[in-house]
């Protein structure tokens, strides 16, 4: 770790209590001036660090510092967690690592994404310090026909993690969005690389973006997006959420062959029984959602009585018609 990262780690360990600059310098084997410069950079990055005369530096007890060490310490399995300040896209970061042979359960988490994206190359709003932006690498042994289940397992995982850390009820809008009430709090983008030689998957990446803290949503998202916590976000909320999410994701990913996620996915899909606008391939129109089958295909009935199973596409919510 860099001097700056070491100082942040030590201040975080003593969060709310002063740590002297002299002590930091001695422990790290650097000058007092080097400590001062590192703290200055941390402040510029947005960390609330106060200097107390004759006592030292104090990291606010309300600070929510994401570090790989803190997340790994809360996991019951080996997971290569990498935390970065700013990336173009966590999915792209993991893709590059996958191409270099990175093992399954390599995880990249970023404080900020400058080119975060969702389905159909839509941009995903990823400002610094307010969200949890995470991508997880899998190297599946199950068939490529089951790759959709990585997405559906992740959706159930996010719901359960949000509920555990916040107490709020989270639901799923087919196929990959997690809602709190009628507003979106999380998007999931799953991308895969397929092998021509064995007709299987080389790897799958699940990208998860959760709005954790209240932030200034851009105009186009106001009224349709929300966050897990409002202004009163607990200290270490993102760390707790990341660790809980990874634990539950391990459980559901291991259970994909038996589709252990399915009962929860079906139960949490709040669009069942509602009218939607369907856009799937060349098919567009109003329909009632009648259910979800065990392949996570959406059962819909159009206004003319035609019924279809949708394996892909998008739905937008509308009031129920008679």
204-224, pLDDT tens digit by residue?
999 999 999 987 777 788 888
Alpha helices in the chain (DSSP H): 3-13, 21-28, 32-44, 68-73, 90-99, 148-166, 237-254, 262-268
231/21 Cα distance (integer angstroms): 32
Q: Edge to edge, what strands does the sheet with 314-318 contain?
A: 307-310, 298-302, 283-292, 275-280, 314-318
Say what the pLDDT of residue 302 is: 94
pLDDT(197) > 70: no
- Tell whether omega for the bond before 10 is within 30 degrees of 0, i.e. cis: no
User: Is the pLDDT reported for residue 69 higher than 80?
Assistant: yes
User: Is residue 198 scored above 70 in pLDDT?
Assistant: no
Per-range mean pLDDT, top range of 55-59, 154-158, 180-184, 300-304: 154-158
Dihedral of alpha carbons 123, 128, 132, 133, sign: positive
Domains and CATH numbers, the chain: 3-59 (1.10.10.10), 68-268 (3.30.930.10), 275-318 (2.30.30.100)
DSSP secondary-structure letter at 72?
Answer: H
- Indicate whether 10 pLDDT > 60: yes
Q: What is the mean pLDDT of residues 125-150?
A: 91
Is the pTM for the entire model greater than 0.85? yes
């Amino acid at each position: 770790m860099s001097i700056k990262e070491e100082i942040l780690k030590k201040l975080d360990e003593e969060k709310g209590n002063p740590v002297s600059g002299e002590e930091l310098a001695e422990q790290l084997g650097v000058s007092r001036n080097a400590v001062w410069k590192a703290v200055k950079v941390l402040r510029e990055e947005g960390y609330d660090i106060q200097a107390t005369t004759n006592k030292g530096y104090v990291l606010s007890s309300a600070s929510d510092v994401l570090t790989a060490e803190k997340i790994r310490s809360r996991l019951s399995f080996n997971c290569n967690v990498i935390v970065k300040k700013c990336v173009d896209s966590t999915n792209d970061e993991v893709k590059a690592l996958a191409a270099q042979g990175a093992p399954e359960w390599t995880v990249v988490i970023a404080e900020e994404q400058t080119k975060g994206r969702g389905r159909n190359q839509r941009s995903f709003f990823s400002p610094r310090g307010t969200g949890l932006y995470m991508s997880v690498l899998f190297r599946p042994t199950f068939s490529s026909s089951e790759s959709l289940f990585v997405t559906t397992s992740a959706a159930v995982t996010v719901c359960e993690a949000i509920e555990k850390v916040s107490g709020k009820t989270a639901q799923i809008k087919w196929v990959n969005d997690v809602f709190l009430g009628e507003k979106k709090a999380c998007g999931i983008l799953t991308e895969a690389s397929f092998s021509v030689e064995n007709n299987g998957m080389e790897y799958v990446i699940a990208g998860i973006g959760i709005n954790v803290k209240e932030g200034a949503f851009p105009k186009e998202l106001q009224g349709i997006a929300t966050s897990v916590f409002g202004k009163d976000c607990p200290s270490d909320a993102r760390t707790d959420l990341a660790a809980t999410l990874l634990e539950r994701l391990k459980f559901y990913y291991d259970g994909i062959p038996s589709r252990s996620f399915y009962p929860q996915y079906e139960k949490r899909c709040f669009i069942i029984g509602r009218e939607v606008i369907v856009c799937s391939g060349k098919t567009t129109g109003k329909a009632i959602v009648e259910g979800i089958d065990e392949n996570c295909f959406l059962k819909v009935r159009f206004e003319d009585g035609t019924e279809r199973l949708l394996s892909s596409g998008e739905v937008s919510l509308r009031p129920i018609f008679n």
